[in-house]
Amino acid sequence: MVTILRARRAVIFDIDGTLVDTREAHLASWTQVLAESGIPATREQLEALFGKHSDEWARELLPPERQAEGPAIIARKNDLFRARLDDLQPFPGARELLRALKDAGKLIAFATGATKDELAHHLQLLEAEALADASAYDREVRRGKPAPDIYALAGRRLGAPASDTVAVGDSLYDVESARAAGMDCIALLTGGFAEATLQSAGATEVYSAMADLREAFADSAGWLGRM
């Protein structure tokens, strides 16, 4: 398969669930903080929110009379997630794809709903600090995903037009956010969303995992070399 990664100058990555396997850590942290707070939520409800900004989780999960507790609950959730950071690992192929893109002369940015400290941790884990041309994290935008703000900000920092940029994410909200910012979006199934859901939202390509995208990028290089 010839991936659109070859045809674009700039690539903007989501991190959680895309490059780093954080899904279960986030879901466990939300489950714990909601249980501590006496707020009922099903696993299905939590899975459907994965990829949205924490503010959106709080708005959707907290009853109206408890919305004022949102910031404190989010802060507690972030503490619980930080306690799980040492258990996180990059997805197979993530580090290799980032290096291959940089070797191919691509501009690379990261657009994440993670905190500034979490972003720093993830980039170190990915061995990507020196590979990042730009980044944007949670509190740098007024609206989180699925609003376009964070992809748009990362794109501006890269200095590349949206038409020459492709986003890579794992959730419905990555696709919606990137498309609203005028970018094509490659989606991965590692966020738990169905392929049909991602395609209906406008995903340009869908892959099962990061390793498959890395292989497609390598294969497309060979294909171009034979032209």
Q: What is the CATH number of the domain that holds 193?
A: 3.40.50.1000
164 lies in the same domain as 195: yes
139 lies in the same domain as 218: yes
129 lies in the same domain as 200: yes
| Average pLDDT for 159-177 | 97
The whole domain housing 67 covers: 23-86
Alpha helices in 38-115 (DSSP H): 43-49, 54-61, 70-82, 94-103
Residue 173 has pLDDT above 50, yes or no: yes
131 and 102 in contact (C-beta within 8 Å)? Answer: yes
**Considering its fold, how many domains does the chain have in total?**
2
Using a pLDDT cut of 90, give the percent of the chain over it.
93
Q: What is the structure's pLDDT at 221? A: 63
Using a pLDDT cut of 70, give the percent of the chain over it.
96
12 lies in the same domain as 52: no
Q: What is the structure's pLDDT at 224? A: 38
Distance CA 168, CA 170 (A): 7
**Among 86, 106, 123, which residue terminates a domain?**
86
196 lies in the same domain as 101: yes
Residue 222 has pLDDT above 80, yes or no: no
Reported as a single tens digit per residue, the pLDDT across 20-73 is: 999 999 999 999 999 999 999 999 999 999 999 999 999 999 999 999 999 999
CB proximity list for 157: less than 8 A, separation 6 or greater:
109, 133, 134, 135, 136
Q: What is the CATH number of the domain that holds 34?
A: 1.10.150
123 lies in the same domain as 214: yes
Reported as a single tens digit per residue, the pLDDT across 129-147 is: 999 999 999 999 999 999 9
Residue 14 has pLDDT above 90, yes or no: yes
Average pLDDT of the chain is: 94
What is the pTM for the complete model shown? 0.92
